[in-house]
């Protein structure tokens, strides 16, 4: 059988073994195939393993057929179609079929990669909406939103690379009762706001002022309530005031997005105002709303377990629940997405579970065709292991955090003496690359579900699985071709005269590591965990270093003159760089030419 171009090795082997099992044991043709990469350092076990035989032996035994796993494995092996990807198959141990990859295939695949760039593995395409970042107007964008922003952006990049049709949505908290008091306060502070943009400097201060008045002044409170009503009914002056307030936050958010290289489309809760009205109608018609102390609630399932959603408040207003019901309906029915990903902290997991169940119950969500994920993540802790706060106990402002990162990254570069070597522009590029890459990578490289400790010292270390280590290794790899004295700018041309040779053990190991990329990308997108890609980058860098330590790419004599250039090995360096570059892009790391 043929290997599809850019296919993931694991996926291809699934295909091979599915066919073999179907031929050898037709009654088990739908058994899920189990393929695992071999982690053993010993080359004699091969590179991948199919371990279906053991389970099949059990199943056959239940039917009264006695066959040893070894015999079953042999039958599977005999029925495997010939594939250019496989050098040989061997039955070993308790009934494993060991797969040895073909060097010839690997060499071809790497040539293709160098010629055409890293291409995505083929996957079925979906229209997918990613709801991420989603801070709240007039409130501080905090480290939780930073995590959502970083993880969300990377998931978007991953799925875009896999050629899905990606819709990036910022579900801003821009609608709600707090706007009543903000509008009322705006009217008093800046009576001329309709003609002249009010100079609200600090929206947090403005928020606090209005909250104070709301709590202390009855007349103000009444007016605040009436402004909520006029806002929700679309009264032009209130809408104008609301827009002015939103603009202040919007600008602040945008500077953060620019710094982190995040692009996102705003579609806040206010967008769903009319759709909230219609989703309430929809639920009412289906008889799914029931009264509860003046409110109208909806249970996620008929048995009334779990926590009900509050769809209509006792004052007739809507809630966070209502807006998410309207949003999921809009996304699936109007936006025609078949996959929705919510990147929101783990604290909201009950909320999303309830929304998903309720959406299923009322027929909006059909799990047979739709996929919905709550991509949850843990909290950010300070180095003391407690919730991340400033010394005075306030929440950390994101812009301050990024500034601090910039300062620390410059210190780190200076302590390595880079300011003497790099031009001012190069130093600035390196500073930014290190600062933002570090912050992103520190977040992405852990399993997102666990809490993580935010430590500039840790993330700026140049050893271990850190962004700094990866960036340094990457620039070192890029410098090899540059320093060879030969022209590697046109790789297709270089490839005309060179075959990538994988006879050295370390060359072979590096090649196989690089070719795992497609497996990793598919795993990341199936499970929506990016730390697998981070671990892969780290593995590529360490395996590269092993290769580079034992394989000469450029040989020099005692006088330091180049006497031999191994083009095949330099092509391997270039392939490594290409794989890293693509992975870095997905992770939001910005490599620089010099560092």
Sites of contact with ligand ARG (CB under 6 A): 131, 134-136, 171, 173, 324, 327, 342, 344
Spatial distance between the Cα atoms of 181 and 179, rounded to a whole number of angstroms? 5
Spatial distance between the Cα atoms of 134 and 342, rounded to a whole number of angstroms? 10
Which lies closer to ligand ARG via its Cβ, residue 138 or residue 312?
A: 138
The widest CA-to-CA distance across the chain, in whole angstroms, is: 89
With CA atoms as reference, report the closest residue to 591 among 455, 486, 441, 464. Answer: 441
Spatial distance between the Cα atoms of 525 and 290, rounded to a whole number of angstroms? 39
Walk across the sheet containing 339-343 and list its strands. Answer: 265-266, 165-170, 127-131, 339-343, 371-375
Which lies closer to ligand ARG via its Cβ, residue 134 or residue 431?
A: 134
Place of tokens 């070192």: 476
Cα angle 112, 161, 474 (rounded to 5 degrees) comes to 65
Q: Count how many Cα atoms sit within 13 Å of the Cα of residue 172 in the half-sphere of its side chain.
A: 19
Spatial distance between the Cα atoms of 432 and 441, rounded to a whole number of angstroms? 14
CB of 313 to ligand ARG, least distance (A): 17
Which lies closer to ligand ARG via its Cβ, residue 139 or residue 313?
A: 139
Which lies closer to ligand ARG via its Cβ, residue 176 or residue 588?
A: 176
Which lies closer to ligand ARG via its Cβ, residue 338 or residue 566?
A: 338
Which lies closer to ligand ARG via its Cβ, residue 111 or residue 136?
A: 136
Which lies closer to ligand ARG via its Cβ, residue 121 or residue 144?
A: 144
Backbone angles phi, psi at 144, to 5 degrees: -65, -45
Place of tokens 């009762």: 177
CB of 365 to ligand ARG, least distance (A): 14
SS3 content of the chain, % helix, strand, coil (to 5): 55, 10, 35
- Name the E strands within 93-142: 96-101, 127-131
CB of 145 to ligand ARG, least distance (A): 6
DSSP 309: E
* N-to-C CA span, the chain: 46
Spatial distance between the Cα atoms of 71 and 81, rounded to a whole number of angstroms? 18
Q: Count how many Cα atoms sit within 13 Å of the Cα of residue 72 in the half-sphere of its side chain.
A: 27
Which lies closer to ligand ARG via its Cβ, residue 102 or residue 348?
A: 348
Strand, coil or helix: what is 243?
helix
DSSP 266: E
Which lies closer to ligand ARG via its Cβ, residue 49 or residue 133?
A: 133
Which lies closer to ligand ARG via its Cβ, residue 270 or residue 583?
A: 270
CB of 333 to ligand ARG, least distance (A): 16
CB of 136 to ligand ARG, least distance (A): 5
With CA atoms as reference, report the closest residue to 283 among 320, 228, 331, 321. Answer: 321
With CA atoms as reference, report the closest residue to 329 among 349, 348, 311. Answer: 311
CB of 324 to ligand ARG, least distance (A): 5
Which lies closer to ligand ARG via its Cβ, residue 91 or residue 137?
A: 137
CB of 308 to ligand ARG, least distance (A): 17
Which lies closer to ligand ARG via its Cβ, residue 72 or residue 172?
A: 172
CB of 530 to ligand ARG, least distance (A): 19
CB of 340 to ligand ARG, least distance (A): 9
Tokens describing residue 38:
């071999």
Spatial distance between the Cα atoms of 239 and 244, rounded to a whole number of angstroms? 9
Burial 83-110 (b: 16+ CB within 10 A, else e): bebbbebebeeebbbbbbbbbebbbbbb
Give 202-239 as a DSSP string: -HHHHHHHHHHHHHH-HHHHHHHHHHHHHHHTT-HHHH
Which lies closer to ligand ARG via its Cβ, residue 114 or residue 262?
A: 262
Cα angle 386, 391, 397 (rounded to 5 degrees) comes to 90
CB of 583 to ligand ARG, least distance (A): 28
């Amino acid at each position: 059988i043929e290997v599809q171009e850019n296919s993931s090795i694991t996926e291809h082997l699934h295909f091979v073994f599915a066919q073999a099992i179907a031929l050898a044991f037709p009654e088990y043709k739908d058994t899920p195939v189990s393929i695992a990469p071999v982690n053993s350092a010993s080359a004699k076990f091969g590179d991948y393993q199919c371990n279906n035989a053991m389970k099949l032996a059990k199943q056959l035994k239940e039917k009264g057929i006695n066959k040893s796993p070894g015999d079953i494995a042999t039958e599977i092996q005999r029925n495997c179609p010939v594939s250019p990807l496989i050098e040989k198959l061997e039955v070993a141990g308790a009934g494993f079929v060991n797969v040895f990859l073909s060097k010839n295939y690997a060499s071809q695949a790497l040539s293709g990669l160098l010629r055409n760039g890293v291409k995505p593995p083929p996957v079925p395409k979906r229209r997918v909406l990613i709801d991420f970042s989603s801070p709240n107007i007039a409130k501080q964008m905090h480290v939780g939103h930073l995590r959502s922003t970083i993880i969300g952006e990377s998931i978007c990049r991953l799925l875009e690379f896999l050629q899905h049709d990606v819709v990036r949505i910022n579900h801003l908290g821009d609608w709600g009762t707090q706007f009543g008091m903000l509008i009322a306060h705006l009217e008093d502070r800046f009576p001329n706001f309709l003609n002249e943009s009010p100079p609200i400097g600090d929206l947090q201060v403005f928020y606090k002022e209005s909250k104070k008045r709301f709590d202390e002044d009855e007349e103000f409170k009444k007016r605040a309530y009436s402004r909520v009503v006029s806002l929700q009914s679309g009264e032009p002056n209130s809408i104008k005031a609301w827009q002015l307030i939103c603009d202040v936050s919007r600008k602040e958010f945008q500077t953060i997005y620019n710094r982190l290289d995040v692009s996102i489309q705003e579609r806040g809760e206010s967008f769903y105002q009319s759709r909230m009205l219609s989703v309430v109608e929809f639920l009412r018609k289906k008889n799914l709303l029931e009264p509860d102390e003046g409110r109208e609630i909806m249970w996620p399932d008929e048995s009334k377990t779990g926590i009900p959603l509050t769809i209509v408040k006792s004052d007739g207003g809507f809630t966070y629940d209502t807006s998410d019901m309207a949003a999921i309906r809009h996304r699936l029915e109007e936006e025609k997405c078949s996959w929705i990903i919510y990147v929101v902290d783990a604290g909201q997991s009950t909320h999303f579970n309830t929304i998903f169940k309720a959406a299923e119950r009322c027929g909006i969500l059909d799990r047979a065709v739709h996929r919905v994920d709550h991509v949850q993540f843990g909290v950010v802790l300070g180095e003391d292991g407690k919730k991340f706060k400033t010394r005075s106990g306030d929440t950390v402002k994101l812009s301050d955090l990024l500034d601090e990162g910039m300062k620390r990254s410059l210190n780190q570069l200076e302590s390595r003496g880079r300011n003497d070597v790099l031009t001012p522009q190069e130093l600035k590029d390196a500073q930014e690359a290190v600062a933002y890459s570090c912050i992103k990578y520190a977040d992405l490289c852990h399993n997102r579900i666990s809490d993580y400790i935010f430590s500039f010292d840790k993330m700026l270390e140049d050893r271990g699985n850190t962004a700094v280590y990866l960036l340094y290794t990457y620039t070192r790899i890029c410098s090899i071709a540059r320093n060879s004295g030969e022209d590697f700018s046109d790789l297709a041309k270089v490839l005309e005269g060179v075959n990538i040779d994988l006879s050295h053990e370390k060359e072979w190991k590096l090649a196989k590591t690089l070719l795992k990329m497609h497996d990793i990308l598919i795993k990341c997108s199936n499970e929506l965990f990016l730390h697998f890609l981070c671990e892969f980058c780290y593995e590529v860098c360490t395996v590269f270093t092993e290769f580079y330590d034992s394989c000469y790419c450029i040989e020099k004599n005692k006088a330091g003159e180049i006497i031999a250039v191994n083009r095949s090995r330099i092509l391997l360096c270039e392939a490594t760089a290409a794989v890293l570059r693509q992975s870095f892009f997905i992770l939001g790391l910005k490599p620089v030419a010099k560092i």
